[in-house]
Amino acid sequence: MKRFEIPVGISARHIHLCLADLEVLFGEGATLHPIKTLMGGQYAADERVTIVGGNGRQIEAVRVLGPLRGDTQVELSKTDTMFLKLQAPLRDSGDIEGTPGVTLVGPKGQVTLEKGCIVAKRHVHMSTEDAMNFELKDKDLISLDFEGERSATLNNVLVRVDASFTLELHIDTDEANALDVKPNQSVVYEA
């Protein structure tokens, strides 16, 4: 049996914007300003927006990730969706058909989405070479063991393989808090 350590990345709530929504929120001709490079050509932008639920509750300063996408997508924790009283389903990124919308407020305007709110399924990014070492392929589901006082095994972790990916598990803040994940923690996978 081979034993691999996978670094854990915690995804806080964030938003991907389409061009039309960017211009409504930040003004005509607005562009995103990268402040931190993420894997696969993505980046955290300086831009942030406020999310307003149908119940009037707000979550402020939600980070926008770039580059722009074809559709606006809002990735929330289940704790967030309960706070906003929003029935957002557990989905893979990009799969937003039939999901609820929400209102976004930026410095120049606001937009009410018809769809786009999801709770992102946990997943592990790996390079093609990592996948060969781990004997895994894209879209496999694996189980991962977390140590510590809130020790647990998470099942149904989706494997995503791409030449541009760096090895990293992505879980959301609910999962990280439920498992009391510490900064720079790794998780063990046994192939």
How many CB atoms are located within 10 Å of the residue 89 CB? Answer: 14
Q: What's the min distance (Å) between Cβ of 177 and a copy of itself? A: 4
CB of residue 63 vs a copy of itself: minimum separation in angstroms? 16
Shortest separation between residue 80's beta carbon and a copy of itself, angstroms: 9
Shortest distance (Å) from residue 53 CB to a copy of itself:
16
| Bridge-based pairing state of the strands 14-16 and 58-66 | parallel
Looking at the Cβ atoms of 37 and 184, the one nearer to a copy of itself is 184
Residue 17 or 169 with smaller CB distance to a copy of itself = 169
How far apart are alpha carbons 188 and 5 in whole angstroms?
Answer: 5
Per the CB < 8 A criterion, the answer to whether 51 and 73 are in contact is no
What dihedral do alpha carbons 123, 127, 131, 137 form, nearest 10°?
A: 60
| Least spacing, CB of residue 87 vs a copy of itself, in Å | 13
Applying CB under 8 A, the residues found at the interface with a copy of itself are 77-79, 82, 90, 121-122, 149-156, 172-175, 177-180
CA angle 155, 10, 48 (to 5 degrees): 135
DSSP string, 107-143: SS-EEE-SS-EEEEPPEEEE-HHHHHHHT--TT-EEE
When the beta carbons of 97 and 149 are compared against a copy of itself, the nearer one is 149
Question: Considering beta carbons, is residue 130 or 172 the nearer one to a copy of itself?
Answer: 172
The residue among 34 and 89 lying less far from a copy of itself, judged by its C-beta, is: 89
CA 190 to CA 142: how far, in whole Å?
Answer: 10
